[in-house]
Amino acid sequence: MLLENAELVKRFFMNKWIFIMSIALVTSLYSCNNDTKLNGVIMVESEFQSDSDPDANGWTASFAEYRTTAVDSVLNLQAGVSRLPAPLDTTRYSLRMQSNNRSGNMFMFMKKRITGLRNNTDYQITFDVNLATQYPDAADVIGSPGSSVYLKAGASAEEPVRIAENGIYKVNIDKGTESAGGTQMVTLGNVANGGNTFVYRLISRSSPGNSLVVRTNDKGELWLCVGTDSKYEGLVNLYYDKIKATLNLAE
């Protein structure tokens, strides 16, 4: 009888040990998976596959750097998912942005919220952007729509929004001015198509390495922002084919 009880006690503690070790293993695996999510390289890639996507793959478009009294129809402000223009592959979709710069400056931008990052933590971010542009380096009578329109990309803990200040619509993040970048956006280059004629071509622009470090908010969020800062006083029409942001924990 004593042997039988001893055997029962032994089995009880053995089963309890197996249970505790199983819980510990599951917890360890969960921690590893969660750690990988937070610590690994995070890539946010956006391609605009259909014009039926109401939120353009999570991107929202806006415009700034013009007078609050200006009429949108005169500025010809347009944004939305559209097929790429000919002679490019017109079966592919893109995010199209257009404006007519009447005041000497125009900032066409889009933003996207990223979640699931570490709270109040610095991330190093690089960008790769493909877009369709028809503008050569050559200037017309009002300037050069290729070399006077600058592509920028960046991120911020707060949502980039348009605000009215002294009769001008501005953006609430530091994007810099014209060709110069700011603390929250870097300049990737201009939108010249690399040719001598007005024909749409796909171009690629990338951010300089290790150039942008941004701290998340207390919810582990960042807002990505991509746009063009223009001093060309005329109509500019661009098609964003692909946007990729790569995030690493800053050292």
* pLDDT tens sequence across 173-200: 999 998 999 999 999 999 999 999 999 9
* Buried b / exposed e along 75-114 (16+ C-beta atoms within 10 A): bebbbebbbbeeebeeebbbbbbbbbbbeebbbbbbbbeb
Tell me, yes or no, whether 133 and 178 share the same domain: yes
Tokens of 159: 């949502």
Task: State the DSSP code for 181.
Answer: -
What is the distance between the alpha carbons of residues 176 and 219, in angstroms, rounded to a whole number? 27
Q: What percent of the chain has pLDDT above 70?
A: 79
Which distant-in-sequence residues (6+ apart) come within 8 Å of 93 by Cβ? Answer: 47, 48, 49, 50, 51, 81, 82, 83, 84
Tell me, yes or no, whether 19 and 93 share the same domain: no
Tell me, yes or no, whether 10 and 94 share the same domain: no
pLDDT score, position 95: 94
Tell me, yes or no, whether 127 and 144 share the same domain: yes
CA dihedral 52, 108, 194, 136 (to 10 degrees): 110
* pTM as predicted: 0.81
Residue 22 domain boundaries:
1-39
Task: State the DSSP code for 75.
Answer: H
Which distant-in-sequence residues (6+ apart) come within 8 Å of 245 by Cβ? Answer: 43, 44, 114, 125, 126, 127, 153, 155, 224
Closest CA to 159 of 71, 219, 101: 219
* pLDDT tens sequence across 20-35: 333 333 333 333 334 4
Tell me, yes or no, whether 19 and 100 share the same domain: no
Give the least confident one: 28-32, 90-94, 148-152, 196-200: 28-32
Tell me, yes or no, whether 48 and 34 share the same domain: no
Tell me, yes or no, whether 144 and 206 share the same domain: yes
Total domains present in the chain: 2
Tell me, yes or no, whether 9 and 75 share the same domain: no
Tell me the CATH number at 76.
Answer: 2.60.120.200
Q: Which helix (H) or strand (E) holds 37?
A: helix 2-39
Tell me, yes or no, whether 34 and 88 share the same domain: no
Tell me, yes or no, whether 168 and 147 share the same domain: yes
- Count CA atoms within 13 Å of residue 117 on its CB side: 29
Tell me, yes or no, whether 220 and 187 share the same domain: yes
pLDDT of residue 238 exceeding 90? yes
Q: CA angle, corner 95, sides to 197 and 201, nearest 5?
A: 20
Tokens of 221: 């969020």
Tell me, yes or no, whether 54 and 124 share the same domain: yes
**With bands split at pLDDT 50, 70 and 90, how would you rate the model's confidence at 49?**
confident
